[in-house]
Amino acid sequence: MYTPRPSSASARVAIWTAAVCLVLAGCSGTGTDDGKGTDAADGASGPRIALITHGGEGDAFWDLVRKGAEAAAAKDGVNLTYASDADPAGQAALMRDMVRQGVDGIAVTLAKPGAMARAVAEARSAGIPVVGLNSGIDSWRSAGLLGFFGQDESVAGRAVGDRLDELKARHALCVIHERGNVSLEARCAGLKKAFGGDSENLYVDGTDPDAVTAAVAARLGQDPTIDEVVTNGAQFALAAVRSVRDSGRTAHVATFDLNEDLVEAVRSGDVRFAVDQQPYLQGYLAVDALWLYRTNGNTLGGGEKPVLTGPAFVTRKNVAAVARSAGAGTR
């Protein structure tokens, strides 16, 4: 769930259109995240759906969310627009722009729900259906969204706490790379609630990988009782592996979220386990749900229950099966 450094409007917005393609014709629609917006294929007659996230530029996690959304759009004949901004005010502005354009549906992350509340309300007032994904599981119902697709982060955090107890850990350092992100805070709070040992949070600047490595190494050097580092993103887990080596300590590393590089780290034993929330599936279901609602009035979860995509633990025992999907760019 890495959130990149905010950039200019042209560099933080990526737009593409995905059209239905007949299998027999052997065609496909894909877009590029070049910051200018590109049409992958013109002429799709289906609804216009926007995906607006708080993270995206240059991050493998959000690439998977996007790929899932693109796959659903291609299947459904949806004209898909994607935009992202790490700044919550910027993300809200992007959503308002989609409302002004009169799109047929919006899928949005609610990493900072308060900042998005007015934009969501404007979409609802305009009669535009909105679903949530990835972040905001405790806020989507009160915001009036049709559904939510993601992981219950409190449940995931408690599951990690239980797993650390099984592994006989005693002191966990939970690394938060974006202060105020409700999902990251919920994970570490859940861990603390379930874990029988000591737990503390370490806030770092997620936009600076070298600073993350240095901060974790420094904390390990200050307290030799820390025997487990838990990060909130695959790239931060890899940074933490370097931190452990730099500090000369023997702490283990575990993480929330997964990418192809992290799969190899689990396989090698550098990372003990990863919690996979299936970002590809989140993007796919969010777009598909809006299409189903627009074309057939369907809802998932009955408007009351989230559709959970995690947590699923990836360990050395099952990483080989996951690696196949990761190599294909869908896990």
- Give 275-289 pLDDT, tens digit per residue: 999 999 999 999 999
For domain 153-276+315-327, the CATH superfamily is Response regulator (3.40.50.2300)
Rounded to an integer, what distance in angstroms lies between the CA atom of residue 200 and that of residue 185? 12
The number of helices, as runs of H, and strands, as runs of E, in the chain is 11, 12
- Decide if 9-151+278-310 and 153-276+315-327 have a common fold: yes
Give the model confidence (pLDDT) of 117-145 as tens digits: 999 999 999 999 999 999 999 999 999 99
Could you state, in order of their start, the residue ranges of all structural domains in the chain?
9-151+278-310, 153-276+315-327
- Position 243 pLDDT exceeds 80: yes
Q: Which residues pair with 256 in a beta bridge?
A: 275
Region 21-38: mean pLDDT is 33
Distance from chain centroid for Cα 209:
18
- Neighbouring C-alpha atoms within 13 Å toward the C-beta of 54: 24
Q: Which residues pair with 201 in a beta bridge?
A: 174
Rounded to an integer, what distance in angstroms lies between the CA atom of residue 222 and that of residue 224? 7
**Length of the chain counted residue by residue:** 331
Task: Kindly state the percentage of the chain with pLDDT values over 70.
Answer: 86
Helix ranges (DSSP H) in the chain: 9-12, 60-76, 88-101, 113-125, 153-166, 182-194, 209-222, 234-247, 260-268, 279-296, 319-327
Residue bearing the bigger pLDDT, 87 or 43:
87
- Neighbouring C-alpha atoms within 13 Å toward the C-beta of 207: 11
For domain 9-151+278-310, the CATH superfamily is Response regulator (3.40.50.2300)
